[in-house]
Amino acid sequence: MDIKVQVRESEDDAYVVELSGEIDVYTSPKVKDAITELIDQGHYNLVINLEKVRYIDSTGLGVLIGGLKRVREHGGSVNLVCTNPQIRKIFDITGLVKIFGIFENEQDAKKALV
Amino acid sequence: MNAATAAVGRIETVELRIPRKAEWVAVARLAVAAVANRLAFSVEDIEDLKLAIAEACTNCIRHTNGNASIDIVCEAEPDLLRLIVRDHCFDLPPQRPRAVGEPAGDAGGLGIFIIESLMDHVAFEPTANGPTELVMTKRVGA
């Protein structure tokens, strides 16, 4: 079980956080650190790509919610890329689809950033 | 991992004890998936069961201190799987579950809410020793 975190700069001052693997109580601190570091550096428009994430639990959701709260304080936004139906289902049942912008591909997610 | 099976009527039981540490939650997920795979659960249902047991274990890790273990009992019947999680973490009153679709403002209480959304029946039941155990049931094909 592992999580890989790759951060890359995109056009229009956006940053993409690409995650691969499983996000749970053990691995989520690594995700949190990556997001926190970006925000601390002043990057408030983020796309978090979950296409290669096989599993996420409430701990992972908490990290995403925490990141969203922080960037919104600076007028920023977090959009997600999610194509895995099982993961999308977790966002649906928790109501987080109303809080996050969730897109089928990275290009659309970046376009929709405020 | 201490796994054993015992046939009691039509119920087969698998027991697992893991350290109350984050790195062991994945073991609980895999074990429950293996048990569920013995029944006729769909792939989607098995994913639900994995998430439910992980949320229960995570709840134990988050809300208790010390080095206590987490006991997990899987009771497999032909048409259902019952997961029992015992620790000293469930003696708190369960948080009010959100209504389905109600946005989560933060991560607090999400775990129990997810469990209640994914499983067919969830109960917090007292044990003879005092602490409460979490009992989660999912029916095949429900």
In the numeric block, which tokens belong to residue B28?
């609980």
Judging contacts by C-beta atoms under 8 Å, the chain A residues touching residue B26 are: 1, 22, 24, 26
Judging contacts by C-beta atoms under 8 Å, the chain B residues touching residue A60 are: none
Query: Which pLDDT tens digit goes with each residue over A31-66?
Result: 999 999 999 999 999 999 999 999 999 999 999 999
Q: Which of A24, A55, A99 sits opposite B103 (nearest CB)?
A: A99
CA distance B107 to B33: 25
- Is the pLDDT assigned to residue B7 strictly greater than 50? no
Q: How confident is the model at residue A13 (pLDDT cuts 50, 70, 90)?
A: confident
Q: Closest Cα of chain B to A102: distance in Å?
A: 14
DSSP A100: S
Is B7 strand, coil or helix?
Answer: strand
Lowest mean pLDDT among A93-97, A102-106, B64-68, B73-77: B64-68
Are A40 and A76 in contact by the 8 Å Cβ rule? The answer is no
Q: Which of B1, B70, B79, B3 is nearest to B39 (CA)?
A: B79
Query: Which pLDDT tens digit goes with each residue over B46-98?
Result: 999 999 999 999 988 887 766 678 999 999 999 999 999 987 655 544 444 44
Q: How confident is the model at residue B99 (pLDDT cuts 50, 70, 90)?
A: very low
Q: Which of A62, A86, A95 sits opposite B102 (nearest CB)?
A: A95
**Averaged pLDDT score across all residues of chain A:** 95
Longest CA pairwise span in chain B (Å): 45
What secondary structure does DSSP assign to B56-110, as a single string?
HHHHHHHH--SS-EEEEEEEEETTEEEEEEESSSTTSPPPPPPPTTPPPSSSTTH
Residue B63 has a pLDDT of 77
Query: Which pLDDT tens digit goes with each residue over B107-124?
Result: 567 999 999 999 999 998
- Is the pLDDT assigned to residue B2 strictly greater than 70? no
- What is the interface pTM, i.e. ipTM, of the complex? 0.89
Residue B87 has a pLDDT of 77
